[in-house]
């Protein structure tokens, strides 16, 4: 009997111990799951990479035609307005001479067949846009006085300002893309360079001719990307995958080694674009999976939970 109670007590203790161990294991699993950091991932790829320098370019008309009075007198008609496109030969102004204004009517009364009017038409010598009008109806003007300015549409360009330290990347004949503030892109090429450098900015000006003349206002500032470096078939990762220390001397990525563990891998960077960074060295190969979100501040060998496929 005493042996029976001893065995019963031992069985009860074993059951209690098993229950305790089972509960401890469940709590441990919950703790492991609780410290998994949600992350997003992407793959390491091989691709061609191009590094650009962003520069500014200003829309300009290199040639402007000055419309001048061909005689002294009073403006009798103004047939144009600012912004209007005119063709060569269009009558822009009509001027009545001072003499005709004072004695023309008297002469015609004396001899109607004389037909003296003293009117002189002033025509556009080039096609383009009216950029400036200096006089209005009724104004008195001197001979050769400026009446208006016509921009020559065929001389439309973008003037690219290039810091001198980047001038070796810009060559006459190179193709470029001009990106306007509204998102439109115009193709063009470097037509020429001006042989001077701005004394303050130390920037040299290059002339960009666009493939198709566009109706773009003068002085509009656009953006031009100039190729600094380009490489083919390089190993790269998304820019958000690369982390750095406070001094920006050490760089690393967090690489998945299985479904739930990410490890810290030191790398050396190469080319950088707006979206990707070249990996020059490090234990990273194409098709490896790296963290691109939730990776900041993770320790080496971190437990993670991937939230994207």
Indicate the CATH number for domain 70-144: 2.40.50.100
Q: Which DSSP string do the residues of 18-82 spell out, in sequence order?
A: HHHHHHHHHHHHHHHHHTPEEEEEEE-EEEEEEEEEEEEEEEEES-EEEEE-SSSEEEEEE---T
Residue 7 above 80 pLDDT? no
Contact assessment for residue 259 and residue 307, using Cβ atoms and an 8 Å cutoff: no
Residue 162 above 80 pLDDT? yes
Least confident of 16-20, 118-122, 232-236: 16-20
Give tens-digit pLDDT for 102-132: 665 555 555 555 555 688 999 998 888 899 9
| Average predicted confidence (pLDDT) for the chain | 85
Q: How confident is the model at residue 179, as a pLDDT?
A: 94
Of 220, 274, 253, 287, nearest to 45 by C-alpha is 287
pTM across the whole model: 0.60
Q: How confident is the model at residue 18, as a pLDDT?
A: 45
- Which position has the token pair 């004072």? 102
Of 275, 202, 222, nearest to 51 by C-alpha is 275
CATH 2.40.50.100 range(s) for the chain read: 70-144
158: its two tokens: 């973008």
Q: How confident is the model at residue 254, as a pLDDT?
A: 97
How many angstroms separate the CA atoms of 78 and 259, rounded? 79
Sign of CA dihedral 296, 299, 301, 304: negative
How many angstroms separate the CA atoms of 90 and 78, rounded? 12
**Residue 136 burial by Cβ neighbours in a 10 Å radius (0-12, 13-18, 19+):** exposed
- Which position has the token pair 């307005």? 81
How many angstroms separate the CA atoms of 55 and 175, rounded? 14
Buried b (16+ CB within 10 A) or exposed e, 85-112: ebeeebebbbbbbeebeeebeebeeeee
Buried b (16+ CB within 10 A) or exposed e, 17-56: eeeeeeeeeeeeeeeeeeeebebbbeebeeeebebbbebe
Q: How confident is the model at residue 226, as a pLDDT?
A: 87
CATH 2.40.30.170 range(s) for the chain read: 53-61+155-230
Q: How confident is the model at residue 211, as a pLDDT?
A: 78
Task: Determine the topology of domain 35-50+231-306 in CATH.
Answer: 2.40.420
Q: H or E element: which one contains 155? A: none
Give the pairing of strands 85-86 and 64-68: unpaired
Task: Determine the topology of domain 53-61+155-230 in CATH.
Answer: Elongation Factor Tu (Ef-tu); domain 3 (2.40.30)
pLDDT band at 228 (very low <50, low <70, confident <90, very high): confident
CATH 2.40.420.20 range(s) for the chain read: 35-50+231-306
């Amino acid at each position: 009997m005493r042996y029976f109670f001893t065995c019963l007590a031992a069985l009860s203790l074993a059951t209690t111990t098993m229950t305790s161990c089972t509960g401890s294991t469940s709590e441990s699993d919950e703790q492991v799951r609780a410290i998994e950091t949600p992350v997003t991932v992407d793959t390491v790829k091989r691709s061609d990479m191009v590094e650009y320098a962003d520069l500014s370019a200003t829309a300009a008309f290199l040639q402007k035609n000055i419309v001048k009075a061909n005689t002294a007198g009073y403006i009798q008609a103004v047939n144009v307005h600012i912004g209007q496109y005119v063709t060569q030969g269009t009558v822009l102004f009509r001027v009545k001479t001072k003499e005709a204004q004072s004695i023309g009517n008297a002469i015609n009364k004396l001899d109607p067949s004389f037909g003296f009017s003293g009117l002189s038409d002033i025509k556009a010598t080039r096609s383009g846009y009216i950029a400036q009008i200096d006089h209005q109806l009724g104004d008195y003007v001197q001979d050769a006085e400026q009446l208006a300015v016509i921009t020559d549409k065929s001389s439309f360009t973008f003037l690219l300002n290039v810091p001198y330290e980047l001038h070796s990347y810009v060559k006459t004949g190179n193709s470029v893309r001009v990106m306007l503030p509204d998102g439109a892109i115009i193709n063009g090429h470097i037509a020429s360079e001006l042989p001077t450098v701005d004394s303050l900015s130390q920037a040299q000006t290059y002339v960009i001719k666009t493939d198709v003349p566009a109706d773009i206002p003068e002085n509009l500032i656009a953006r031009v990307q100039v190729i600094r470096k380009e490489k083919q078939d390089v190993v790269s990762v998304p820019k958000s995958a690369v982390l750095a220390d406070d001094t920006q001397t050490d760089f690393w990525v967090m690489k998945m080694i299985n479904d739930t563990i990410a490890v810290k891998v030191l790398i050396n960077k190469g080319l950088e674009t707006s979206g990707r960074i070249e990996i020059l060295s490090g234990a990273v190969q194409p098709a490896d999976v790296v963290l691109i979100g939730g990776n900041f501040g993770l320790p080496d060998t971190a437990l993670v939970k991937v939230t994207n496929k």
